[in-house]
Every structure is written in C-alpha cells, then in structure tokens.
C-alpha cells in the first residue's frame, strides 16, 4: 500500500471534527462553495421545432441549459479511430476463436447448440459479447466486499485460474478507497445515530412482517415514515416501496395503460423501461435531455392521436430522471416543466441519484434547479443511494398516493419494507431534515460536504486535462476512457493503488464512450480525494487519457 | 379536422378503385373481337399491336371515349405517384394552426381514476399494526389480535436469536450496501447465503435477488424471448404473469393444475410447431409449487413426465412451498422426491417462511452466471442488506437443524385448523390439505344469506359483492381478536382473477386455543352478518 489508508478517519465518524476540516478546506480552495444553478443561455433550446409558438422560446422559464461539455468534438480523431479499430479487432478475434473453439472443443459449446430437441437456453450470438469480451475483463466487476461500503471499503481478494471463468477467494482482505458506491451522503455506516436507531428498532419491533402491505402488514411505522417523507419533500402524501427498481416497474403500469402514451428519455434506467413495457401503453422516446425534441414529439403525437384509430390519447406521461447516473448529467427539468401547461402531460421524475445529494437541503433536482416541485406529478426517488438504506418512494397528490397504496403491485404482491431498513430511512431522513436536537447540523453538513467534495474533484480532474462528463454539482463524475483496452487497465491500476472504481463500457454506454465513473461521498476527506487525484493523474499519464492537454 | 382529413382520404382511394376496375369493362366490348391471333404471336408484339388496334378502333368508333379513358389513365398515374407519403405521418398534412388547435382541444384523463366504492371500502379496511411482529399483534386502536396474515409458517419471525444476530450484523455491515451487486455490492454474506441455499435445496448454483417480487420478472425474460413458447398454469401468481408478459414470448395457458389440459395444450402446440421449419424455439412450462391463489400443490411428477416427453423446460416457482411442505420443508421437489437439478429453473423466496427479505433462483452454474449479467433485478438494483441476508440464512439453518420438530408442529396445526373449520357448514376450504395457506369461501347458500341482509342495491353474485361480504366477515373477526385478510388483487391486471376468498396462514407457533378461536370467530362472524 502506498499510503496508509487505514489511519485516516472519515470526516463523518463521530470523533473527527468536521468544522476543522472544512475550514481547512476553505484555506486551500476559497472558491469552492456556492453552487448556483446555471442560467439559461438564450439560443440553445428549440431548434427542432420551427414553430414560432413554441413554448420553449416564448417562456421565460429559467431553464439552465446544458453547458456543452468541452466534449466529444475535441476528442482527437486518432482516439476515435483506434477505439473503433480496437473493437473491430476484438470482435473479429472473438468470432475466429468461437469458430475454432466450436471446431476443436465442441463439448464446451454444448450449451449454445440445439441438442436432443431442446433449443439452446442462451443464444450464441447474444452471448458472444459476454463470453469473448466481458469475461476477459470480468475481474473488474462483481468484486466481493465485506463490511460497510463507506468512504473506504474492504475488498475480498480473488484470483482466477481459468481466465476469469471462475474466481476463488484467496482469503486476503484489502482496504481501499471507495469511489464506487452510491454512498453520497455517507450514511453507509455501522455506528452513529442511524445505526443506534436501527438497533433499537430491531430490538423493539423485530425484523420483517412476512406479508404484503395490503394483506395485513401496514404498520404505524410505515405511515409515520411516509409522513416524514411528505414533510421533507413538501408534498401532500407519499408512499414507501420496498425496492427502488420495483417502485418504477410496478407503479408506472398503474398510471398508464392501453390508449396512453409514454414519452421516455432515451437514456432512462432499466427500471423505467420495464415499467413502461409492462404498462401496455404506447412508448416513444425523445432525444436525451432535449426539451425541444420532446416538444417535437409531443406535437406530432398529440396531433396524430393513437395509432390506427387516431383517437385522442387518454393520458401522456413523460418519464425523465433528475440525475442521469451514467452521464452525471442533470436533467433539464425547467425546460420540460415549461412545456407542461401547454401540452398537459404528466411528469414522472426519477430522482434515484439526486434525492438527498442535490439542492441546498438535499431535496433533489427541483430544489437545485429552482423548479417548483408541485409541477411534477410523480416525484420518485430511492433510499438506496444517499440514505444508506434500500427501497424507494413516490410522492405527489393524496388521491394518487392512496390509489397506489391500494393498488401498486408492491403493496399488493410484494414484501413490506423490513423494519431495520425502514428505520434507516427514517433516521437518515431526520438527520437530513435536521430535526434531531442532539445531532443538530449533521445532515446539512453532509450535504454541504458532498457538494464541496464533488465540485472539487470534478474541477481538479478537468484541470488535469481529462475528458470529464457531467454537470457541475453532480456527485457522479464520469471520465471518458474510449479504448476498450484502457477500460480494464484503468480499473486494475486503481486497484493496485488501493482505489475501488466502477468502469462501464458498451452495452451500458455508447460503444465509443467507455468510461470510469467516480461516485463522490460526503464521507471522503480532503486527503482521500487528494490521494485519489494524485493517483488518477499518474494513471492518466500512464494510459494517455489526458486528451484535452 | 383530423376526421375530415380521413374522410377525404377514404373517398379518394375508393374513387381510384372504382376507376381502375371500370377501365377494362369500358374497353371489353371491342377487345374481344381482335384476340384470335393471340397464340401465334409473341406476347409483347401481340400486346403492342392489340393496344394500337384498340386505340385506332375506339378512336374510329367513339373519339370521346378514347379521350375519357386517356384522362382516366393520366389520373391514375398521377394518383399513384402522389400516394408516397407514409400513413403515420399525417402531421405533414396538418398546418401549424391545426396542430395548435388539436393541442388546445386535447384533454387528458386524470392520472389515476377515482376509487370505486368497493375499492374505497377495501382500502379503508386495511388494519394498522402498532406493535412488534409476532403471533399476537396490537392494532392502532389498541386491540390485540392473533396474527393469521404472516407467512411465518415456521415461527421464525421475531425470535431473540435472529434479532441478536441482526444487531451484530448491523454493527459490522451497516444497513444498505449502497450499490448493485456488480458494483461492489456483493458481500461475503451474500455468497455464503447463496451457498447455503444451494446446499439446502441440493442445487447446482443459486443467485440472490434483493426482492422477492423482482425474481420472476428478471428470470423469465432472461431466458424466454420473443418468439419462444411459454405454457403456463392459468392461476400462476401475479409476478409470474408479469415475468411472462415482459418476456414477450408466445403464451399458452392451461387450466389450473389440470394435467390433462396441459397435455392437450402441449400436443396442440406440438402439431403446429412440427410443421414449421427453422430453429426450434425455447419452450417452457411455468408453474407454481404451492399456489398462492388457491393453495393447491402442483402435480410435479406428472409435469416432469410431460416436460420430458414434449421437450420443455420447467420454470418452477417454489416461493410459497419452500419452508412449508415436503419432509425436509424444502418444497414440492422434496415432497415428490425429485431432484432440484432436474428442474431447469427454480424460483424461491426468503421473505416468507424464512423471515428475511428477497428471493433467489436455483439453476445450473452457467444459467446463474448468465443471470448475473442479464437479470434486470440483479444488475440494476441494489443488493440485499446484510441484515436481511443473515436473517434468512439463520432461518434456513434453523429449519435444517430442527426440521422434524418445526414441520411436525406446523402439520399438526394445519390438521387441527382444518378439522375445526371443517365443522362450519357455511364455508368451503380450498387448497391442498397439506398447505399452511388456506383459502376460505362461503357456500352458495351462506353467501345468499349474507348478501341479502347486506347490500341493498344489488345482490347478484359479482366478484365485488362476494368480496364485500368476505370483507365484512374479516372486519367482524378483527373486532373479535382475529387478524385474517381477504385476498387482495390488482383485479384489472390479473390474467385470471381468482374468486374472492379469505386467506388464513397457519404458523407452528399458533396454540390450539388460538386456532380454536379462529374457527369460533369465523362462525360467529358469518352468523352475525347473515342475520
Ligand atoms: C435512475 C434509477 N432508478 C431506479 C434505480 C433502482 O434503485 P434500487 O437500487 O433502489 O432498486 C436506480 C438504481 O441504480 C437508478 O439509477
């Protein structure tokens, strides 16, 4: 190990003094801090619709525009060509190896062939990518850990004797700096107020109800937690659902069905996509984060009506995210809300990553962008990220929420949220809302710390000349790697230097823009970040990643 | 506006059709005279000469008609060439003003409909529990009730041992793992739990899902794709239905637990499919070990035979069965003495009998590996909290070590309750006699008595009315200290909505008196409501 990471206490452990460190930070970096929503620069929106009545142009909404990243235009042609070429070679070799393999070792491919009248369960073509490309780098994924995934995390070392087909634990453990978990506010903890509360709840109430909410497991605790969420988000009512994924996939089918239209951002999360599919509504997409394209789609679909019958749509639901976690990009909520009055659609906003992590009080993108959250019909979020729990919520009007309590698939067929998890939600929420007298100021401190950490980290990386996606204020910082060879290499280099990172490549991203994604947490200290930056700087030189230099 | 457009379009196209069909008729009288030489000449020269002659003749006979026909031909050419626009691009023809008008006119429905009277009644009747979990619960109105609504068959809920372990786990792992299993969310406790499940069920490999309801919707689309064939029991639980829907495969339903019907369906598919060329589709039978909606036990031996005969694979949902039936409590496979390895894909849950949270899928190593990359609920959702994994593992271990005592108690309680309920003449108990989940319905005559004294509007035997009567019974029982629940469904989304029933879940922790109290209170409730 290069530095002794063990010795560093996290900012948020009780014994460390937060004030001291953050004041120190101000010395180092005076300009860190105020994060104002960016103002809209007049001419950027609405080019697709050449209609003078376009709401976007006539409205005075303070839509923050997407500051065009000093982005893909500035990527050297050389990088683009080599990236495509590398993939080409990889695929070519994959095919050749597959051909050879089938010829010489047919036994190994039995699963992919029709045999004895059974079709293969895994299709040959589909799995080529996995067998030949993913497996090569699969040691960068599914890395097992133990303990808390906090600012630092303990990895269980594993080795593979058969080229990543299987892994074995060696029994060795390494503590590494964690730039991978969605622990934005640092609530992944086994000590402190939340853990104490959770312990109490286990002792007093038990663990789980072994039943669904609609059939006998609606507890006073759920209702109280929901009340807390509603208060926090300043909405009429909210419903707690035991899983974030299911919050999307099991609620959307209740909102829209046949004869309705879903307009979905093209980069929406899988849970939103599967919810949309299950609903039976007509689905269409608009260009990622582009309100003018949304307007074009709306105009076209409203004027055409339903396919074939041309009856008017029953409802239109626009499904978007607050913070796109692969891009680190903040949704253009203001631009979309500005269209709402005219086109009368409903908005489903997924704040999985932004709730808690963004805005002055952690109330998500609405607060961050200064958009009236009452304009959003369904505010959805998860407790998996910032709150250190699991599960999700939907917030909105009372009649909507009551309907979901009665009918959402999760209420009727799913398990109710386990008691310790619910207590983690409630207690972390109380800290964020700053209503625990003994821990006054802890929640806001975390929010501020996260904001400082992420903008510091992003700014430093940009200064080093890396190609960084993501908007200012996002706790997710993606760094573009391009060449497929660099993707595992970056992960390995980081691991060598005791840093855990997440790398993502095609098919999760466009083929060209493989990336590493850093998730910044409030529990990272300035030393943690500086250490990481120093190491990433070195790796950047080693792998030739500083494309803007 | 749009409607007029369509009318115009329709009238134009019908006009063209009339003209096209009219043309040969107009010319037919003359054409007949000149066709004797057809066989001796080549087709083209014949055709050309025919046209020339035809035109000459017709010009001689009736120049006006030639002119008319020419106009027609030109019109058709113009019309056909004009039809190039696509049908779904009607908007090209709408002016901006039209679009604005349409947008102004359009009015959406409210985001959710108002609750119907019946739905409101069901909703208002949800009890609110204000006490620790356990066999006896306290409601928020201060009343104590005996719990017959938890799937706590083995009495593992709320035991001190599990709670202590949970606290220790909390102090080591915290609560949430803050990420999906792929991104540093795989904990050592997850891997241990997976291994434990594999060894308990004697399966090859196991994958954990953080929520039971996400297992089916992830596993089925993972293997069965568009064009593949699924043959499913028509009363499978809702999450299986959703998984089937999401897979976009071709679905055929067979009557609930009716193996004759299944065979018929398989034969029929076989007939159709054997005629088709090309690669064979993947074929699956989807069934439930112990049915959620009826409490029936699957005839697994028969299904195994059929699947082999027709070359299907089995997706077996054992969510309710594991921890409830079989000599070891390992589910339907255990009951029938069939190896789990012979079931291609087996789904189970940890949130019911084992008191944890989440679910799992057992399969061969390769198929589990495939799910770790393609199972949506595994890839895109946070991992299971360590506390719940440890709790589930504790549950399984307790069943393993103490299966004889726990299961015997459970069976005794099931038998006791069945015999007591059997004395009530007004009810029918559905489900297998070994099932700890019982569905209770009223007999026809009892229903008639209850409904006539209850509803003044209509006393037809509709689903809602029947449910309404049961709801009254449930709420009467609750006032008398027994917590049971009538089955709740999302009625309009169910494939085949089961008849309303009261669901009773037996646990091995229920005492004889508690069971007796249930049947007494049920009898009283029916009497009170039928009066
Ligand atoms: C946008 C979005 N929605 C929903 C989810 C699912 O949340 P959970 O992990 O709580 O199931 C995620 C998780 O990655 C997400 O990114």
What's the CA gap between B213 and B222, in Å, rounded?
A: 15
Per-residue pLDDT of A137-176, as tens digits, reads 888 888 999 999 989 999 999 988 888 888 888 889 999 9
Report yes or no: A344 at the B interface, CB cutoff 8 Å: yes
Same domain, A397 and A474: no
3-state per-residue secondary structure call for A73-117:
HHCCHHHHHHHHHHHHHHHHHHHHHHHHHHHHCHHHHHHHCCECC
Is pLDDT above 70 for B60? no
Q: How far is B32 from chain A (nearest CA, A)?
A: 44
User: Would you tell me which residues 97-136 of chain A have a C-beta closer than 8 angstroms to some C-beta of chain B?
Assistant: 111, 114, 116-123, 127, 130, 134
A245 lines ligand 1 (CB under 6 A): yes
Q: How far apart are CA B188 and CA B481, in angstroms?
A: 43
Nearest by Cα to B470 from B442, B444, B510: B442
Q: Residues of B with CB below 8 A from A378's CB?
A: 111
Same domain (yes/no): A162, A109: yes
Q: How far apart are the first and last CA of chain B?
A: 61
Last residue of a domain, one of A378, A399, A417: A417
Name the minimum distance, in Å, from the CA of B398 to any CA of chain A. 16
Instruction: With beta carbons under 8 A apart, name residues in chain A contacting B355.
Output: 207-208, 210
CA distances from A78 to A85, A483, A486, B405, B500 (A): 10, 11, 15, 71, 67
Split at pLDDT 50, 70, 90, the class of A205 is very high
> Average pLDDT in the B188-217 region?
94
Residues 6 or more apart in contact with residue A540 via CB below 8 angstroms = A464, A465, A466, A546
H/E stretch holding B486 reads strand B485-486
Task: Report the nearest-CA residue for atom 10 of ligand 1.
Answer: A244
Tell me the percentage of chain A whose pLDDT exceeds 90.
Answer: 56
pLDDT: which is higher, B149 or B34: B149
A83 and A177 both lie in a single domain: yes
How far, in Å, is the centroid of ligand 1 from the Cα of A462? 28
Whether residues B114 and A399 touch (CB distance < 8 A) is answered with yes
Question: Is 90 exceeded by the pLDDT of residue B17?
Answer: no
Q: Is the bond preceding residue B96 a cis peptide, omega within 30 degrees?
A: no
Among A15-19, B336-340, B477-481, name the one with the lowest average pLDDT.
A15-19
pLDDT band at B265 (very low <50, low <70, confident <90, very high): very high
Ligand 1 binding pocket includes B382 (Cβ within 6 Å): yes
Q: Give the H/E segment covering residue A24.
A: helix A18-28
Question: Which pLDDT does position A339 carry in this prediction?
Answer: 92
**Is the pLDDT at B447 greater than 90, yes or no?**
no
Q: Cβ B151–A220 below 8 Å, yes or no? A: no
Residue A261's domain is classified under what CATH number? 3.40.640.10
Of A169-178, A322-331, B23-32, B181-190, the poorest mean pLDDT is in: B23-32
**Domain-embedded: residue A426:** no
Asked if the model's pLDDT at residue B506 lies above 80, the reply is: yes
Calculate helix-pair angle for A192-205, B160-173, nearest 10 degrees: 170
pLDDT-based confidence at residue B94 (cuts at 50, 70, 90)? confident
Q: In percent, how much of chain A has pLDDT > 70?
A: 86
pLDDT of residue B50: 63
Which residues in chain B have Cβ-Cβ distances shorter than 8 Å to A187? 176
Residues A234 and A371 in one domain: yes
The CATH number of residue A146's host domain is: 3.90.1150.10
A406 and A451, same domain (yes or no): no
What confidence tier does B455 reach under pLDDT thresholds 50, 70, 90? low
Does position B115 have pLDDT exceeding 60, yes or no?
Answer: yes
Compute the distance between CA of residue B242 and CA of residue B245 in angstroms, rounded to an integer.
Answer: 5
Kindly state whether A490 is in contact with chain B, defined as any CB-CB distance less than 8 angstroms: no
A271 lines ligand 1 (CB under 6 A): yes
Proportion of chain B above pLDDT 90, given as a percent: 59
Residue A58 domain flag: no
Residue A238 CA, ligand 1 centroid: distance in Å:
18
Are A363 and A220 within one domain?
A: yes
Work out the average pLDDT over B326-347. Answer: 93
Is A133 within a domain? yes
Q: Which residue range(s) make up the domain with A178? A: 76-189+443-549
> Would strands B229-233 and A316-321 be described as parallel, antiparallel, or unpaired?
unpaired
CB of B294 sitting under 6 A from ligand 1: no
CB contact set of B42 (below 8 Å; sequence gap of 6+): none
Residue A273 beta carbon below 6 angstroms from any ligand 1 atom: no
Closest atom of ligand 1 to CA, residue A391: 10
Asked if B279 and A114 come within 8 Å (Cβ–Cβ), the reply is: yes
Which of A93-102, A286-295, A485-494 has the least mean pLDDT?
A93-102
In this structure, what are the phi and psi dihedrals at residue B438, rounded to the nearest 5 degrees? -115, 140
Pick the residue whose CA is nearest to atom 2 on ligand 1: A352
Burial class (CB in 10 A: 0-12, 13-18, 19+), A250: buried
Q: Which residues of B touch A182 (CB under 8 A)?
A: 178-179
Q: Do A206 and B133 touch (CB under 8 A)?
A: yes
Residue found by looking up tokens 């960016």 in the block: A38
Evaluate if residue B276 carries a pLDDT over 90: no
Residue with tokens 């619960």: B137
Cβ contact B149–A315 (<8 Å): no
Chain B within 8 Å of A507 (Cβ-Cβ)? Answer: no
Q: Which of A6-10, A407-411, B35-39, B221-225 has the lowest mean pLDDT?
A: A6-10
Counting every residue, how long is chain A?
549
Total count of domains within chain A: 2
Same domain, A269 and A410: yes
pLDDT at A424: 94
Listed range (A68-82, A287-301, A456-470, B175-189) with the worst mean pLDDT? A68-82
Say how many Å lie between the CA of residue B312 and the centre of ligand 1. Answer: 35
Contact at CB, A208 and B108, closer than 8 angstroms: no
Q: With contact defined as beta carbons under 8 Å apart, do B229 and B389 qualify?
A: no
> Higher model confidence: residue A313 or residue B45?
A313
> How far is residue A497's CA from residue A492's CA, in Å, rounded to a whole number?
9
Residue whose structure tokens are 């860190």: A32
> Which pLDDT value is given to residue A505?
83
Is the pLDDT score of A354 beyond 70? Answer: yes
pLDDT (0 to 100) of residue B72 = 82
Provide the pLDDT for residue B278.
82
pLDDT at residue B343 in the model: 94
In angstroms, the separation between the Cα of residue B518 and the nearest Cα of chain A is 16
Query: Cβ distance A441 to A14 under 8 Å?
Result: no
Answer whether residue A65 is part of any domain.
Answer: no
- Measured between CA atoms, the residue of chain A closest to residue B162 is A207
The pLDDT score that the predictor gives to residue B267 is 93
The Cα B199–Cα B206 span in angstroms is 10
| Dihedral (Cα; B335, B336, B338, B339), 10-degree rounding | 0
A111 and A173, same domain (yes or no): yes
Q: Is A295 found in the same domain as A247? A: yes
Dump pLDDT digits (tens) for B118-168: 899 999 999 999 999 889 999 999 999 999 999 999 988 878 889 999 999
As a whole number of angstroms, the distance between CA A543 and CA A529 comes to 20
B248 contacts B225 by C-beta, under 8 angstroms: yes
What is the per-residue pLDDT for A228? Answer: 95
Q: Does A400 lie in the same domain as A292?
A: yes
Cα separation values, A82 from A85, A128, A136, Å? 5, 22, 19
Residue in A181, A264, A352, A392 to alter for ligand 1 test, most ligand atoms within 8 A of Cβ: A352
Query: What average pLDDT score do residues B480-503 get?
Result: 91
> Is the pLDDT at B96 greater than 90, yes or no?
no
Reported confidence tier of residue B54, pLDDT bands at 50, 70, 90: low
Same domain? For A395 and A460 the reply is no
For residue A143, the chain B residue with the least C-alpha distance is: B184
CB B116 within 8 A of CB A188: no
Asked if B203 and B363 touch (Cβ cutoff 8 Å), the reply is yes
Q: Do B212 and A415 touch (CB under 8 A)?
A: yes
Please give the distance, rounded to the nearest whole angstrom, from the Cα atom of residue A112 to the centre of ligand 1: 32
A308 part of a folded domain: yes
Q: Which of chain B's residues have a Cβ under 8 Å away from the Cβ of A191?
A: 171
Distance CA A320, CA A50 (A): 24
pLDDT digits (tens, 9 = 90+) for A241-276: 999 999 999 899 999 999 999 999 999 999 999 999
Q: Which atom belonging to ligand 1 lies closest to the Cα atom of A383?
A: 10
pTM of the model as a whole: 0.83
Residue B425's φ and ψ, nearest 5 degrees, are: -75, -25
Q: HSE (CB half, 13 Å, CA atoms) of A131?
A: 20
Mean pLDDT for A524-538 is 93
Nearest CA to ligand 1 atom 7: A244
Q: What is the mean pLDDT of residues B282-311?
A: 93
Q: Which long-range contacts (CB under 8 A, 24 or more apart) does A433-436 make?
A: A433/A228, A433/A231, A433/A232, A433/A361, A436/A193
Site to substitute for ligand 1 among A182, A245, A270, most atoms within 8 A of C-beta: A245
Residue A224 and residue A184 share a domain: no
* DSSP annotation string for A397-425: -HHHHHHHHHH-HHHHHSPPPPHHHHHHH
Would you tell me how many other CB atoms lie within 10 Å of the CB of residue B71?
11
Least trusted range by pLDDT, from A44-53, A179-188, B491-500? A44-53
Burial class (CB in 10 A: 0-12, 13-18, 19+), B242: buried
**Domains annotated on chain B, with CATH:** 3-81 (no CATH), 117-156+402-530 (3.90.1150.10), 177-384 (3.40.640.10)
The 10 Å CB-count burial string (b at 16+, else e) for A456-486 is bbbebbbebebbbbbbbbbbbbbbbbbbbbb
Band (A124; pLDDT cuts 50, 70, 90): confident
d(CA A298, CA A146) in angstroms, rounded, equals 48
Q: Residue of the nearest CA to atom 16 in ligand 1?
A: A352
pLDDT exceeds 70 at position B274:
yes
Average pLDDT over residues B221-244: 92
Residue A322 lies inside a defined structural domain of this protein: yes
- Among A417, A452, A469, which residue terminates a domain? A417
A47 domain-assigned: no
Helix (H) or strand (E) holding B286: strand B283-288
Report long-range pairs for B28-32 (Cβ below 8 Å, ≥24 apart).
Answer: B30/B54, B30/B57, B30/B58, B30/B61
Q: Is the dihedral of CA B35, B36, B39, B40 positive or negative?
A: negative
pLDDT for A85 beyond 60: yes
**If you take atom 12 of ligand 1, which residue's CA is the nearest one?**
A352
Residue A479: both structure tokens together: 């760094």
Beta bridge partners, A323, equal A330
Q: Which pLDDT does position A52 carry in this prediction?
A: 38
Mutate to test the interface with B, among A247, A415, A506 (most CBs of B within 10 A): A415
Question: Residue A310 burial by CB count (10 A; 0-12/13-18/19+): exposed, middle or buried?
Answer: middle
Mark out the alpha helices in A237-390 (DSSP H runs): 244-255, 270-279, 291-304, 333-343, 365-369
Per-residue confidence (pLDDT) for residue B39, from 0 to 100 = 42
Taking all residues of chain B, what is their mean pLDDT, rounded to a whole number? 84
Residue A203 inside a domain? The answer is no
Among A401, A417, A433, give the residue marking a domain's end. A417
């Amino acid at each position: 190990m290069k530095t002794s990471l063990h010795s560093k206490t996290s900012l948020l452990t009780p014994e460390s003094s937060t004030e001291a460190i953050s004041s120190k930070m101000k010395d180092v970096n005076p300009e860190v801090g105020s994060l104002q929503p960016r103002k809209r620069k007049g001419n950027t929106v609405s080019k697709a619709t050449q209609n003078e009545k376009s709401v976007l142009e006539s409205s005075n909404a303070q839509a923050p525009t997407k500051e065009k990243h000093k982005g893909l235009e500035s990527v050297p042609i050389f990088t683009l060509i080599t990236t495509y070429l590398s993939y080409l070679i990889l695929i070519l070799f994959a095919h050749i190896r597959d051909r050879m393999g089938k010829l010489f070792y047919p036994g190994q491919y039995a699963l992919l062939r029709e045999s004895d009248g059974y079709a293969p369960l895994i299709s040959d073509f589909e799995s080529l990518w996995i067998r030949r490309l993913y497996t090569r780098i699969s040691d960068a994924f599914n890395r097992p850990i133990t303990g808390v995934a906090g600012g630092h995390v303990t990895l269980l070392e594993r080795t593979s004797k058969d080229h990543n087909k299987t892994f074995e634990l060696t029994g060795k453990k390494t503590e590494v700096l964690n730039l991978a978990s969605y622990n934005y506010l640092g609530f992944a903890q086994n000590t402190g107020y939340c853990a104490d509360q959770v312990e109490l709840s286990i002792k007093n109430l038990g663990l789980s109800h072994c039943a669904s909410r609609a059939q006998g497991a609606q507890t006073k605790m759920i209702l109280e937690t929901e009340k807390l969420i509603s208060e926090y988000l300043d909405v009429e009512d909210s419903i707690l659902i035991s899983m974030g994924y299911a919050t999307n996939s099991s609620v959307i089918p209740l909102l829209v069905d046949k004869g309705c239209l879903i307009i979905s951002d093209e980069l929406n999360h899988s849970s939103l996509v599967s919810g949309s599919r299950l609903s039976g509504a007509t689905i269409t997409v608009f260009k990622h984060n582009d309100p003018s394209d949304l307007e074009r789609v709306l105009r076209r679909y409203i004027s055409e009506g339903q396919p074939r019958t041309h009856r008017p749509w029953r409802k239109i639901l626009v499904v978007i995210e607050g913070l796109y976690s692969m891009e680190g990009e903040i949704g253009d909520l203001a631009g979309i809300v500005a269209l709402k009055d005219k086109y009368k659609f409903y908005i489903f906003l997924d704040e999985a990553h932004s709730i808690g992590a963004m805005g002055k009080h952690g109330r998500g993108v609405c607060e961050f962008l200064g958009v009236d959250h009452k304009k959003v019909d369904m505010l959805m979020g998860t407790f998996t990220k910032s709150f250190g729990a699991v599960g999700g919520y939907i917030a909105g009007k009372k009649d909507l929420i009551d309907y979901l309590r009665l009918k959402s698939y999760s209420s009727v067929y799913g398990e109710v949220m386990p008691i310790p998890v619910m207590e983690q939600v409630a207690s972390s929420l109380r800290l964020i809302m700053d209503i625990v007298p003994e821990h006054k100021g802890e929640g806001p401190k975390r929010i501020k710390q996260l904001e400082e950490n992420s903008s510091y980290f992003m700014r430093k990386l940009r200064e080093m000349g890396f190609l960084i996606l993501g908007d200012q204020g996002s706790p997710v910082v993606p760094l573009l790697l391009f060449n497929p060879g660099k993707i595992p290499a970056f992960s390995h280099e980081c691991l060598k230097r005791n840093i855990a990172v997440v790398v993502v490549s095609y098919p999760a991203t466009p083929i060209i823009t493989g990336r590493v994604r850093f998730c910044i947490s409030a529990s990272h200290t300035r030393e943690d970040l500086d250490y990481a930056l120093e190491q990433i700087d070195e790796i950047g030189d080693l792998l030739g990643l500083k494309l803007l230099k | 506006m749009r409607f007029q457009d369509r009318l115009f379009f329709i009238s134009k196209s019908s006009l063209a059709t009339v003209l096209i069909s009219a043309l040969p008729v107009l010319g037919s009288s003359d054409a007949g005279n000149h066709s004797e030489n057809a066989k001796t000449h080549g087709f083209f020269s014949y055709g050309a000469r025919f046209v020339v002659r035809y035109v000459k003749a017709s010009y001689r006979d009736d120049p006006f008609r030639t002119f008319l026909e020419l106009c027609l031909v030109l019109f058709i050419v113009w019309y056909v060439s004009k039809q190039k626009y696509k049908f779904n691009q009607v908007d090209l023809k709408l002016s901006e003003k039209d679009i604005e008008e349409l947008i102004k006119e359009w009015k959406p429905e409210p985001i959710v409909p108002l609750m119907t009277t019946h739905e409101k009644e069901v909703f208002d009747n949800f009890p609110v529990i204000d006490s620790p979990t356990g066999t006896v619960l306290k409601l928020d109105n201060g009343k104590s009730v005996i719990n017959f609504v938890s799937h706590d068959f083995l009495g593992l809920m709320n035991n001190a041992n599990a709670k202590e372990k949970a606290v220790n786990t909390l102090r080591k792992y915290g609560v949430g793992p803050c990420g999906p299993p792929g991104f540093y969310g795989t904990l050592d406790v997850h891997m241990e739990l997976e291994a434990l499940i594999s060894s308990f069920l004697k399966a090859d490999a196991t994958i954990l899902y953080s929520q039971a309801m996400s297992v089916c919707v992830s596993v089925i689309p993972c293997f069965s794709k568009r064009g593949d064939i699924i043959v499913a029991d028509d009363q499978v639980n809702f999450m299986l239905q959703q998984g089937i829907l999401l897979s976009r495969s071709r679905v055929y339903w067979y009557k609930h637990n009716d193996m004759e019907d299944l065979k018929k369906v398989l034969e029929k598919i076989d007939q159709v499919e054997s005629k088709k060329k090309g690669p064979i589709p993947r074929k699956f039978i989807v069934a439930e070990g112990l049915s959620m909606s009826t409490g029936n036990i699957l005839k697994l031996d028969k299904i195994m035979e059929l699947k082999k005969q027709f070359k299907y694979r089995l997706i077996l949902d054992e969510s309710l069965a594991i921890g409830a039936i079989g000599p070891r409590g390992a589910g339907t496979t255990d009951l029938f003495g069939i190896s789990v390895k012979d079931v291609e894909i087996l789904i189970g849950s940890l949130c019911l009998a084992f008191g944890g949270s989440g679910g799992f899928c057992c399969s061969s190593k390769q198929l589990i590996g495939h799910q770790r990359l393609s199972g949506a609920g595994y890839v895109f959702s946070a991992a299971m909290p360590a506390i719940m994994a440890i709790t589930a593992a504790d549950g399984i271990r307790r069943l393993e070590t103490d299966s004889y005592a726990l299961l015997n108690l459970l069976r005794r309680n099931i038998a006791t309750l069945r015999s007591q309920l059997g004395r009530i003449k007004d009810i029918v108990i559905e489900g297998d006699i070994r099932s700890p989940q019982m569905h209770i319905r009223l007999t026809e005559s009892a229903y008639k008595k209850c409904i006539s004294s209850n509803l003044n509007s209509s006393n037809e035997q509709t689903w809602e009315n029947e449910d309404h009567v049961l709801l009254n019974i449930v709420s009467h029982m609750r006032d008398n200290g027994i917590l049971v629940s009538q089955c709740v469904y999302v009625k309009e989304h169910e494939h085949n909505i089961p008849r309303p029933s009261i669901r009773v879940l037996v646990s091995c922790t229920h005492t004889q008196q508690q069971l007796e109290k249930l049947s007494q209170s049920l009898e009283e409730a029916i009497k009170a409501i039928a009066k």
